[in-house]
């Protein structure tokens, strides 16, 4: 058992801390927000993530999992300190490392024994070298500090499962001692470990995320072509999935990727390449395709309608995907902005995303339009002139096709997730548009 401190309690830090406690380590999670700490102490998760609260309550009760704002107490005697704070995107596409810098300064001022600092946050290649030097520059005690890279590969909505049952653990170190310590931390997980140099670990994270983003954008590009030539993207994806070299995952066409990883990581790698005088044309194309794809359905609807002014518009799904309450880079946000600019009266439904959506789009009149949040799909659809579907929540997928005809003033549906059978929608006399079909 190791004494572990985790800096940051977002998707990366909190999930990591809870899972470390679950396998037997002694864990203290550090956050600057006292209210958030109190919330977590009560067993309530500040993020929506399946299975997380159950593990929090279980490990809170055992005493293996604690939360605090007192970073000095958390870091001073830790064997390993994991950094899981945010690295948000800067306007130029680079990563904002200010939160990591703050944590590094706190660690340097607090540690009282030799320890390993492990960066789980996604950072540009070479950042861990700077982190190690920065901490050593500001150390106030004569202790030995090493820094390792341990990128996470969890997906929001399945983060707990992805952590406890990962395909592999990537650890990047510059010494055998650091590698061995990290192996001991992860030994209880019983998972394959890939040990590499620090910069290779940093690059693996970007290379994996950007490859998956490329795969999504490629399928969306092919889907758009399918519409023009009369092919069905779902037939195409099915045929492709049997090829072992391609696989079946990330072949679903839609309205583009969102969330905290793919958009930020593609732009960050593109920026990094330019810093070294290299042009990553594949990634640049990926970013461009995704940007266009997000508003493809809106443009289709705009060419169909004379105006959106004062029309009731139903929006089903706000989060960037099902299983999370995260709206970062969600396609819904871009489309809602455009609809509001056009004077639409939006009635939006999402089973978990409304509280976060209200932070970006406060309820009521906004510019030329207005937005209202409803608690049922039926409320959103009632007398609506048009419906947009942005998230593949199960209750939206299971909605009978006839409900669009029965509830809407005009049964006009733009589906960004290809949730419904085209023939069934035709039978119900619904004007239905999807992606690549």
Residue among 45, 37, 99 nearest 74 (CA): 37
Could you read off the pLDDT of 140-177 as tens digits, one per residue? 999 999 999 999 998 888 999 999 999 999 999 999 99
Average pLDDT, the chain: 96
The Cα–Cα gap between 217 and 294 comes to 11
Q: Which domains are delineated in the chain?
A: 3-196 (3.40.50.720), 205-292 (1.10.1040.10), 295-433 (3.40.50.720)
pLDDT for 59: 97
Q: Which of 19, 261, 286, 387 is catalytic?
A: 261
Q: Which of 24-33, 219-228, 259-268 has the lowest mean pLDDT?
A: 259-268
Q: What is the pLDDT of residues 287-298, one digit of tens each?
A: 999 999 999 999
The pLDDT-based confidence of 95 (bands split at 50, 70, 90) is confident
> What pLDDT score does 131 carry?
97
Mean pLDDT of 376-393: 98
List Cβ neighbours of 105 (8 Å cut-off, separation of 6 or more). 134, 138
pLDDT, residue 94, reads 84
Q: Is 90 left (phi over 0), alpha (psi -120 to 50) or beta?
A: beta
d(C-alpha 251, C-alpha 241), whole Å: 8
Among residues of the chain, what percentage have pLDDT more than 70?
Answer: 100
Predicted local confidence at residue 288, as pLDDT? 96
Q: Kindly tell me the sign of the dihedral angle through the C-alpha atoms of 342, 345, 350, 352.
A: positive
CA distances in angstroms from 251 to 212, 235, 240, 280, listed in the order given: 10, 11, 8, 22
- Say what the pLDDT of residue 89 is: 86
DSSP letter (8 states) at residue 113: S
**Please, are residues 370 and 306 in contact by the beta-carbon 8 Å criterion?**
no
pTM of the model: 0.92
Is residue 284's pLDDT more than 90?
yes
| Confidence bin at 260 (pLDDT 50/70/90) | confident
Q: Which residue has the tokens 């809170």?
A: 60
Three-class SS of residue 244?
coil
Q: Which two tokens stand for residue 92?
A: 């130029």
Helices (H), 230-295: 233-241, 262-275, 281-294
* Angle (deg, nearest 10), helices 281-294 and 262-275: 150
Tokens of 225: 């072509």
Distance CA 265, CA 279 (A): 15
Answer yes or no: 286 catalytic.
Answer: no
- 8 Å CB contact between 320 and 326: yes
Dihedral of CA atoms 71, 73, 76, 81 in degrees, nearest 10, equals -50
What pLDDT does 411 receive? 97
């Amino acid at each position: 058992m190791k004494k572990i401190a985790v800096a940051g309690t977002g998707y990366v830090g909190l999930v990591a801390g809870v899972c470390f406690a679950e396998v037997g380590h002694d864990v203290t999670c550090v956050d600057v927000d006292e209210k958030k700490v109190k919330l977590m102490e009560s067993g309530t998760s500040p993020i929506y993530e399946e299975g997380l609260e159950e593990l929090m309550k279980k490990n809170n009760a055992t005493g293996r999992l604690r939360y605090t704002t007192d970073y000095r107490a958390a870091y001073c005697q830790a064997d390993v300190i994991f950094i899981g704070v945010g690295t948000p995107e800067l306007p130029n596409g680079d990563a904002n490392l200010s939160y990591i810098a703050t944590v590094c300064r706190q660690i340097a001022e607090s540690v009282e024994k030799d320890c390993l600092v492990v960066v789980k946050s996604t950072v540009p290649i070479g950042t861990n070298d700077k982190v190690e030097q920065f901490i050593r520059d500001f150390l106030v005690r004569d202790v030995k500090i090493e820094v390792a890279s341990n990128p996470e590969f969890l997906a929001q909505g399945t983060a707990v499962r992805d952590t406890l049952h990962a395909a592999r653990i990537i650890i990047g170190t510059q010494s055998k001692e650091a590698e061995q310590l990290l192996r001991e931390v992860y030994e209880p997980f019983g998972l394959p470990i890939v040990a590499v140099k620090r910069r290779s670990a940093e690059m693996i994270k970007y290379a994996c995320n950007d490859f998956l983003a490329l795969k999504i954008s490629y399928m969306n590009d092919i889907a758009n072509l399918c519409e023009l030539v009369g092919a069905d993207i779902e037939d195409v994806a099915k045929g492709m999935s049997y090829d072992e070299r391609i696989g079946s995952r990330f072949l679903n066409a839609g309205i583009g990727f969102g969330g905290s990883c793919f958009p930020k990581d593609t732009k960050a790698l593109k920026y990094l390449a330019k810093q070294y005088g290299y042009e990553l044309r594949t990634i640049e194309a990926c970013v461009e395709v995704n940007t266009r794809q997000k508003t493809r359905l809106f443009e289709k609807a705009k060419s169909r309608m004379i105006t959106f002014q004062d029309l009731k518009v139903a929006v089903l799904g706000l989060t960037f995907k099902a299983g999370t309450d995260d709206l970062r880079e969600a396609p819904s946000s871009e489309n809602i902005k455009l609809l509001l600019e056009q004077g639409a009266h939006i009635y939006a439904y999402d089973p978990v995303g409304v509280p976060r959506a209200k932070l970006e789009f406060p309820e009521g009149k906004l510019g030329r339009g207005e937005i209202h949040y409803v608690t049922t799909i039926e409320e959103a659809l009632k007398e609506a002139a048009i419906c947009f579907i942005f998230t593949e929540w199960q209750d939206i997928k299971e909605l009978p096709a006839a409900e669009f005809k029965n509830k809407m003033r005009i049964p006009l549906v733009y589906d960004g997730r290809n949730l419904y059978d085209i023939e069934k929608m035709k039978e119900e006399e619904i004007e239905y548009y999807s992606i690549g079909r």
